[in-house]
Structure 1
Amino acid sequence: MALRLTVFGATGGIGQELVRQGLAAGHEVTAVVRDPARLTVTGPGLEVFRADLTDPGALRPAVAGRDAVLSGLGARSRKEAGAGTATRVTVPVLRAMEAEGVRRLLVVSAAPVGPAPEGDPLLDRVVRAVIGALLKDVYTDLTAMEAELARSATDWTAVRPPKLTDGPLTGRYRTAVGTGPRSGRTISRADVAHAMLTMIGDPATLKQGVGVAY
């Protein structure tokens, strides 16, 4: 069934994949961007919407009447994370959706935000702790973003990948609702986008964090 989708962060690695795969599946896709020149995806069914991401009122036309909103928004550096970028740009999206009565939202978070998988090997737990310390500001920001999701009126899903790669779309990965796949260390941006599009209609993922990994 063709859906009407809006993608935020459409010029990022996951965002462009969401747009590309959404169009390939026959959906109508509105790509919300700050700089249209950075969007390399084209095709029938695509609408490019330029907007100030800090103004919920300006975002309302981009989400009105949509079946789902997908977001690849987030900090591109530790400095941006320290400024709470993921939270700051996600809250206006939430307010715009609530104002328009649009409920389904899927966002990109990160594996360390969720609980560690039960039975994870010691090496994976050590690596997780080290990465968590090195990127503390990033995960603090994403944790705050997920708290905003939980307080919202949306039917949200926070998709939590581990280390991202530029590998190909395979469609072969593991998911775990509420936690992460055991020993899940990497996944391509293309497969994260595939997982997000697949989860749109999955009621088991509503108001949940979902780990995705190979």
Structure 2
Amino acid sequence: GWTVTALVRNPQKLTVTHERLTVITGELSDEDAVRRSLTQVEAAVIALGTGTDLQATHSLSDGTAQIVKALQAAGIQRTVCLLSGWLFYIQIPPQFVEITHDHARQLAVLQASTLEWVAVCPPALIDRPARQTYQVTLDRLPGAGYQEIGVDDLADFMLRAVVEPAYIRQKVGIAD
């Protein structure tokens, strides 16, 4: 099994406990907290969010830059980063434009790095048990029209992407 270290702002929001889970409380702006979260790890999964706040921000891209800097300093090569399926669209609904711009900046941070990164860009996320029927495609979402992916299936793929080399330095779409 995996041993996981999670860097979180608010540990009370983390509802999972496990003997192989270490929780470090801190902000991405705290270089020491980021560095401590990367101690004795082989890869990083970056899943940053703003909650329901879709306003203009640089917090996702700035946080990703901080993590990438720490990964490179520690000699850790592999990272899988959660972005947004809106990156595949030319026309973005107005409420998602600003947050999508920051996801694009996150992608640019990854692309400018020397890391073995995978950018995972899902459509709508829904809370349901894993189905294991998802599809993954390079540089686009797998289908057309409204698409979704269960969070368990998304997590499954992101963990697979940590160890499988097929999608290194690629932006991928994933959906059921």
Q: TM-score, normalised by structure 1?
A: 0.76
Distance 1:58 1:48 in 2: 11
1:96 aligns with 2:58: no
- 1:120 alignment counterpart: none
Structure 2 spans left out of the alignment, 5+ residues: none
Question: Match of 2:40?
Answer: 65
The secondary structure found in structure 2 opposite 1:75 is coil
Structure that is richer in helix per residue: 1
- Tell me the residue number matched to 2:104: 143
**Could you give the per-residue CA deviations for residues 142-188 of structure 1, whole angstroms, max 9, x where no partner exists?**
00110011111211111000111112222220000222202261111
2:54 to 78, 99, 104: 78
Q: Deviations over 1:78-135 (max 9, x none)?
A: 12xx022211221111111111011111111111213x6xxxxxxxxxxx7353x431
**How far 1:190 moved relative to its partner?**
1.5
4+ residue runs over 4 A deviation: none
1:57 and 1:49 mapped to 2: Cα distance?
A: 11
On the 8 A contact 1:60/1:99 being kept in 2, the answer is no
1:53 aligns with 2:28: yes
The structure-2 alpha-carbon separation of the partners of 1:169 and 1:137, relative to structure 1 and needing over 3 Å to count, comes to: same
**Alignment size in residue pairs:** 174
Greater CA deviation, 70-79 or 49-58?
A: 49-58
Listed as ranges, the matches of 1:1-214 within 5 Å are 26-76=1-51, 77-79=53-55, 82-114=56-88, 129=91, 131=93, 133-183=94-144, 185-214=147-176
Task: Tell me the SS of whatever aligns to 2:91.
Answer: helix
Aligned AA (2:15): T
**Identity across matched positions, percent:** 29
Letter in 1 for 2:137: A
Are the aligned partners of 1:169 and 1:190 in contact in 2 as well (CA < 8 Å)?
Answer: yes
Specify the SS of the correspondent of 1:210.
strand
Structure 2 distance, partners of 1:130, 1:142, is 13
Distance in 1 (alpha carbons) for counterparts of 2:82 and 2:35: 21
CA RMSD of aligned residues (A): 1.6
CA 1:37–1:153 in 2, change beyond 3 Å: closer, same or farther?
same
